Amino acid sequence: MTLFINCIDEPLQKVLWNSEVVEAYGEGEKGPLAGVKVKNVVTGEVSDVKVSGLFFAIGHEPATKFLAGQLELDAEGYVVTKPGSTHTSVKGVFAAGDVQDKKYRQAITAAGSGCMAALSLILHDLSYHNDIAGCKNC
């Protein structure tokens, strides 16, 4: 939240509420970003905004309603995971990214937790199959 507050207070940055980027353009065919056309979803008005950078925020409500009653969710709808892991309340089910990260909500942290979930799944599957095979030293 601090990053967001800093963004709002920064005079060189502008937050465009209730808006969607409908076009981004650069300088020439492969030039750097120069501007965007933005549509206000309330009024329908399209405006041209000169920019040198762009940060998308697509919302902060996890899309987990379909998991209600199947996995433990917190009061805000985030999947509850064991601290420091991607393990959920259901054995063999792992959660990663914005459905379980209410603090950072960044692509890089989502990718990292996705890697953690994949590795946890591999270890879970190896353990499961070794148990079935009766392998005690695997």
Assign residue 121 the CATH number of its domain: 3.50.50.60
Q: Indicate if 78 and 106 belong to the same structural domain.
A: yes
Q: Cα–Cα distance between 130 and 137 in angstroms, integer?
A: 9
Name the more confident of 41 and 107.
41
Type of residue at 136: K
Q: How far apart are the first and last CA of the chain?
A: 45
Name the more confident of 65 and 131.
65
Q: Indicate if 129 and 72 belong to the same structural domain.
A: yes
The pLDDT value given to residue 17: 86
15 and 8 Cβ atoms separated by less than 8 Å: yes
Is pLDDT above 70 for 137? no
Residue 77 CA: distances (Å) to CA of 23, 58, 66, 67: 32, 16, 10, 9
The pLDDT value given to residue 2: 46
Q: Does 60 reside within a domain?
A: no
pTM above 0.85, yes or no: no
Local structure of residue 59 (DSSP, 8 states): -
Q: Does 56 reside within a domain?
A: no
Q: Indicate if 71 and 128 belong to the same structural domain.
A: yes
3-state SS assignment for residue 42: coil
Is pLDDT above 80 for 125? no
Is pLDDT above 60 for 135? no
Domain count, the chain: 2
Q: Indicate if 75 and 104 belong to the same structural domain.
A: yes
Residues 39-46, mean pLDDT to the nearest whole number: 96
Rounded percentage of the chain residues whose pLDDT exceeds 90: 46
Name the more confident of 129 and 85.
85
Q: Indicate if 69 and 20 belong to the same structural domain.
A: no
Q: Indicate if 106 and 76 belong to the same structural domain.
A: yes
Beta strands in 18-91 (DSSP E): 19-26, 33-40, 46-50
Q: Does 101 reside within a domain?
A: yes
Domain of 101 in residue numbering reads as 65-133
* Per-residue pLDDT tens over the stretch 86-102: 999 998 999 999 899 88
